[in-house]
Structure 1
Amino acid sequence: MRITLLGTGAADGWPNPWCTCGSCTESRSRGELRRPTSALVDGTLLLDLAPAPPPDGISLAGVRTVLVTHDHADHCAPLTLLARQWVRRAEPLTVIGPSPVLTTLRPWLGPDDPVELVAVEPGSTLHRAGYRIRALAAEHEVPTVLYDVTGLDGARLLYATDTGPLPAGTVEATRGAAYDVVLLEETFGDVLDHGTGHLDLRTFPDQLARLRAAGGVTGDTDVVAVHLGHHNPPAAVLAERLAGLGARLVADGATVEARAGRAALRTGA
């Protein structure tokens, strides 16, 4: 399983283009840009429809299945599907997500678009193009699911954004999963009073501890922090703090190669 991080940022990206805080200024000075979070698996499975174009050199032409977590605009951007319609791609496409996602996307599809919309809710399990896809409950402001994806070779990924502290049932659903890669959101950094369905540098390690206790995260799991906002410290500082938690940063455009029981970073840092 090859997982390419198309974006690792929060809704407003990092740096926020309107912001002059120290974290945004540092990122801007280093030429570091984090687009809204999205990932591409094996060139064929897309996780979230982000509004930003992919990093240079990455094409979505091979995508046959899209998993959308929820209908917030940074995860469910209809223009992405309209762009596909404009080039008249004839290959079938399946878009999977909670019912509000499908309601948002449906008006943007042409009458002859070969696009199938499939509703899921927590607990749903689907099989598409050789992948086993399981939807798990999130703690968020709108109907949202997380995705547990098992690849063609048995490698296993947990895509966990957007969510606050994980529901007990979700943690239980990961029991013994021993994920090879976990993409876990960490939006708010050192801002702890945000009152949203997101994680920060206090609740992020708590969720890792819960996943480790359930056997979802093991010593071999590659934990990558995503959905990163500018309330975090500058990237170098954040990377050091995450390392102490057994997690790490990767750059937009980086590809993580996951094999059952083993994961390694291929490109990016």
Structure 2
Amino acid sequence: MKVANKNIVVTGGGNGVGRELTLKLLSKGAKVIAIDVNQFALQETFRISGKNPNLLIRVLDITDKESVFNFAEEIVSSLGHIDGVINNAGIIQPFIDLKDLKFEQIDRIMNVNFFGTLYMTKAFLNHLLTRPEAHIVNVASMGGFFPFPGQNSYGASKAAVKLMTEGLYSELLGTNVHVSIVFPGGIATDIMKNSDITDKAASDSEKNSKLLLSPAAAASKIISGMEKNKYRLFVGKDSKIMNFMYGINAGFATRLIKRVMGSKMSMEA
């Protein structure tokens, strides 16, 4: 679906990839409704956009089902229609094993990553089916198709997004609604800070690492895939490589990432 002149909702629009998705969509002629739980971050996105009149910002907690459905009803009534939803918002967990993870931490991860995506999808789906063409993009993670050390519940939440979206793709075949699932690799964002794991933003050296995609590059790849109606998008060389390795030999890929990440965490400890 070409995004020009379309009304598109983006979750997590206050920072990182969500902000860059918002700015990229605006540059391509879309009207964007950026939502986030952080009002200050949304206002900053609006400022960076040059106070673009095609950008609407809304504070919304996507884990609140009633609020999500009320928002969907309000924005459709206000704008007349919505053509696309990009479910980008997500958080990670502290880098600890499942045995040490508290249930309240697990609940929060599942509520934001899976149920937030589910609520947004359900809230807009019937409306999207009335449009001449529409698109749902759900952002999972490479941690959603192979086990990443210290991110057990995060991976489970993103695996749930993966299977839910793949099932939705199957259900909507032959309809006017396109569905894409995105598997980003490492991206230089402040996701640890935004997930309340640390109060420190990522350093410049971390953000400039050659191993990480910039949020702007990731956003460009996601929107390009959306416009080409791609079903599965592996964003970043690491995501593509791990998908290939996991498909060839899942056990080897699991042991390899455990060894690499284990040594990295030991060095940082």
Q: Same fold judged by TM-score > 0.5? A: no
Bigger fraction of residues in strand: 1
TM-score (norm 2): 0.37
Bigger fraction of residues in helix: 2
TM-score (norm 1): 0.37
